[in-house]
Structure 1
Amino acid sequence: MSNIHPTAIIADGARIDPSVTVGPYAVIGPQVVIGPGCTVGAHCVIEGRTTIGKDNRIFQFASLGADPQDKKYKGEDTELVIGDRNTVREFCTFNRGVPGAGGKTSIGDDNWIMAYTHIAHDCHVGNHTTMANNTTLAGHVLIGDWVTVGGLTGIHQFVKIGAHAMIGFSSAVSQDVPPFMTVDGNPLSVRGLNAEGLRRRGFSAGRVAVIKQIHRLMYRQGLTLEAARAAIADLPVAHPEATADVALVMAFLASSSRGIAR
């Protein structure tokens, strides 16, 4: 294909849509699938059982689908799945999963992933996230939709970040971050709710008011987590427009395994 540079190495078996552009000295392995409209930059290495959707832009020197950095890994057939319309900047590293945890690392759609970001084995990233330079995800991290992560931030293995949360620059995230909250620091602290992010996404004043009340119940009224959960569960009675937002928070709190950032 004319849009594949002659110095690129494409293994037999790779399934690459004819519309894909591959830059010089890129290396693509035999189990790789790349959908229409993608661009693969110079010197990228894409290997293993890696499936990439449509209209992704992968910049030079990225490494996608390499073996997981897990001493228990013994060469099993695991995978990396990347959705549509993602931007992956220079020197990003995304690893495949390990068998004991499902064997799959996944990245959703419309994510903006900046240079030197590392996404380790069995991480699952949602849609519309932003990860600034040098974001580091250890294994088994879950990132919800519309999350923003500041540069030079490290996220501990098995941590969950709820939808619409924002993590400030150079933070050490070792506990779960509930949806809608803004956190930063080392040790990590909750600074408030992500009001600007919610405004940009068109949340109504009524929904934002309920989310503010969720923040107060969890962080400003001295309640135990169980008491805060009970109070949050009652909010939709008076504020039915926020039923889905309350349900999102309640489901997140029920699934937390590392404790909630306070």
Structure 2
Amino acid sequence: MHRFLIGLLLALTSFATVAGGPPLTIHLAGDSTMAEKLPTKRPETGWGEFLAAQFRDGSVVVDNRAKNGRSTRTFIEEGRWNDLLDATKAGDVVLIQFGHNDQSVEKPDRYTPPADYARNLARFVADVRTKGATPVLLTPVARRRFDEAGHVVPSHGEYPDLVRALAARERVALIDMERRSSAVLQETGVEESKALFLWVAPGANANYPNGVEDNTHFSPAGAERMAREFAYALRGSGLALAQRLREGGKP
């Protein structure tokens, strides 16, 4: 009976924390596909900007530290990782999504070789766990690239597999955004998928007077869809964070 009462008390405490307790903080470490944008970049939108909307009101606080153009290496070198750690407390969740800039070998200011990328991610996981927080690894979202037959073409090389391998080796929760976003692109199709990305006609937006055809960065619609894909994957992840999601089905 004593053990039953203790178990019941712990269950009720857990429920109260989720349902009516203080909000849980989710920290975001990543690149432009996740980041909050400056007014001069709009309508470019990071999917992290729609993350809070996937959870019940007041149940989470999103600390979005993702930044355009950053790789795991530059996120560390600029002190952004240490700043995130300083803000992280026990019980928090840290979402880690890099790859777009790490694999940009033509851009030496941000390029991170595969072995260094894997080591940096392993460091992130270890650092978060040392803080008593929960790390969650995410593979990079897909770029809008199709072959002549209309099939989505992978564009991140070996980097997503390095994330998957680390997650399996270190028993870290993994949200496979590359596979989920690729499936969305394939389902949406070559032409219709343009609406998910930063495609702006000339003269349609003052920030892009000559127009833009960007197959990496999201439109508001694309960012919202990716946030919903994350939420759907989270629901089946087994993470306690999923208990705070709004009710809803597949995007």
- TM more than 0.5: no
Q: Which TM-score applies when normalising by structure 2?
A: 0.24
Ranked by relative contact order (alpha carbons within 8 Å, sequence separation 6 or more), the top structure is: 2
Indicate the structure (1 or 2) with the bigger Cα radius of gyration. Answer: 1
Q: TM-score, normalised by structure 1?
A: 0.23
Q: Greater share of strand residues, 1 or 2?
A: 1
Select the structure that is richer in helix: 2
